Structure 1
Amino acid sequence: MANKKYPMTAKGKQKLEAELENLKLKKRPEIIERIKIARGFGDLSENSEYTSAKDEQSVVESRISEIQTMLQYADVVDVTEVDSNEVSVGKKVTFQEADEEPETYQIVGAAESDPTSGKISNDSPIAQSLLGKKVGETVSITTPGGSFDVKIINVTNE
């Protein structure tokens, strides 16, 4: 799994780098200080402040490791290298199901995914069905909720 590529946009990579910097330079030192203070309270076996700080430290260190791996194996997508009418990671795609309103999503790497902001993971069933397709094509999308056909209306660089 260490050689897995993590597709992402340049913005997504910058966001991860900023999160990593914050975790290393701000969050980690804060937790270390909390652990030092909690140690001063005595018996560590019944010290909830110490236990809480150690748990938080574990979560932060795990996230740091995860981000470092993603950045090490980042595959920053350059949308200008892909046909302007082709759906790819980093592009916004507008599609329409028969008699429904058009929907627009930006396809991003899993680390950037935020469906409430219109950003769906390249690993999602919708994105997997759309990737590599072009404007005007009708695509069958299968999700856990069922299958449906959509027509790709527009693809733009984000």
Structure 2
Amino acid sequence: MGRWRPPVKRGSPYITAQGAKALQEELHYLWKEERPKVTDAVHEAAKNGDRSENGDYIYGKKRLREIDRRVRYLSKRLDELIIVDRIPDNTNQIFFGAWVTLEKEDGDEVCYQIVGPDEFDVSSGKISMDSPLAKALLKKKKDDAVLVRLPEGEKEFYILDIEYRPHSVE
């Protein structure tokens, strides 16, 4: 099997103001803080002689490649992202940035915010707008039932509440 892989489909270009700030902080940290430390460590390890058996040198070079790859990605991605920092005019429908409270088939309630693919974190209640659940929820209203195709089969959710919280970036 060859090394060729099909191109990955790009995620939606939208992000919340908080998500954009987090990506910018990550870029700053990698470029201004972590990369100089790793560069210094590689420089010191290179002074120790035989680089082929020098674990600090080999690991440091590998880490520099990882940092550079992530910095390139973040730089390009931040240039193409559209920051959504306002509440939509129609707050009765689900749009990007909405906090949606759902009731599952078994009666359990869950609350998710619909965010961009660069900032989703299911454990903190943030789902990507490209996910099957978010795609099914978009433009729906309170009290609607939504049928979602998930890998484990079809599931039905009932929309209990839609909330838009003010956008604040500390």
Same fold (TM over 0.5): yes
Structure 2 counterpart of 1:88: 95
**How far apart are 1:42 and its partner, in Å?**
0.8
Q: Does 1:52 align with 2:55?
A: no
Post-superposition CA distance 1:38-89 (Å, at most 9, x none) = 1001111221111100111111111111111221111112441352022122
Structure 2 counterpart of 1:140: 147
Distance 1:105 1:5, change over 3 A: closer
Structure 2 counterpart of 1:20: 27
Structure 2 counterpart of 1:29: 36
Over the matched positions of the two proteins, sequence identity in percent amounts to 32
Is the Cα contact below 8 Å between 1:79 and 1:91 reproduced in 2? no
Q: Does 1:70 align with 2:82?
A: no
**How far apart are 1:5 and its partner, in Å?**
4.7
Distance 1:123 1:70, change over 3 A: same
Is the Cα contact below 8 Å between 1:107 and 1:121 reproduced in 2? yes
Which structure's residues are more often helix, by fraction?
1
Structure 2 counterpart of 1:97: 104
Number of equivalenced pairs: 158
**How far apart are 1:92 and its partner, in Å?**
0.5
Is the Cα contact below 8 Å between 1:121 and 1:127 reproduced in 2? yes
Post-superposition CA distance 1:70-124 (Å, at most 9, x none) = 2111111244135202212211001113441221101111111111111111122
Is the Cα contact below 8 Å between 2:14 and 2:116 reproduced in 1? yes
Structure 2 counterpart of 1:7: 14
Distance in 1 (CA, whole Å) between partners of 2:143 and 2:57 is 59
Is the Cα contact below 8 Å between 2:12 and 2:130 reproduced in 1? no
Is the Cα contact below 8 Å between 1:82 and 1:88 reproduced in 2? no
Q: What stretches of structure 1 of length at least 5 have no aligned partner?
A: none
Distance 1:69 1:82, change over 3 A: farther
RMSD, matched Cα:
1.9
- SS class of match (1:51): helix
Structure 2 counterpart of 1:110: 117
